[in-house]
Amino acid sequence: MSTQSPAEAALAELLVEVLNLEDIEPEEINPEEPLFGDGLGLDSIDALEIALAISQEHGVEMKAEDEATKSAFATLRSLNTFVEGHK
C-alpha cells in the first residue's frame, strides 16, 4: 500500500466524514486505489457530495462536464492533485 501525503490524509478524512464511511478509517484508504467500482465502491451521488465538500472546504469548483474533473475522481491521489492544483 502506498503511503498518504499529509494533504491526502486530510482529504481522506474529509471523504470518510462527508460520506459517513463507518467501516473505513481515513488512513486505510490507499491513495492509489480506485475510488469507484472495485476500490472504495463509491457512486455518482458520492461524487456529488465529495465535490460539494471540496468546494466548501477548499474553494475549488469541480464541474461535472470537465474531463479534468472526471479524471480527478480516479484515486485519492489524483483527487488531491486536482484540488492542490486548483486552490
What is the pLDDT tens value at each position of the chain, 87 positions in all? 689 999 999 999 999 999 999 999 999 999 999 999 888 999 999 999 999 999 999 999 998 888 898 899 999 999 999 999 998
Residue 56 pLDDT: 96
Domain limits for position 24: 6-85
3-class secondary structure per residue, the chain:
CCCCCHHHHHHHHHHHHHHCCCCCCHHHCCCCCECECCCCCECHHHHHHHHHHHHHHHCCCCCCCCHHHHHHCCEHHHHHHHHHHCC
Residue 38 pLDDT: 87
Residue 1 counted as domain residue: no
Give pTM, 2 decimals. 0.92
Residue 87 pLDDT: 85
How many structural domains is the chain composed of?
1
- The CATH number assigned to the domain holding 52 equals 1.10.1200.10
Residue 16 counted as domain residue: yes
Residue 23 counted as domain residue: yes
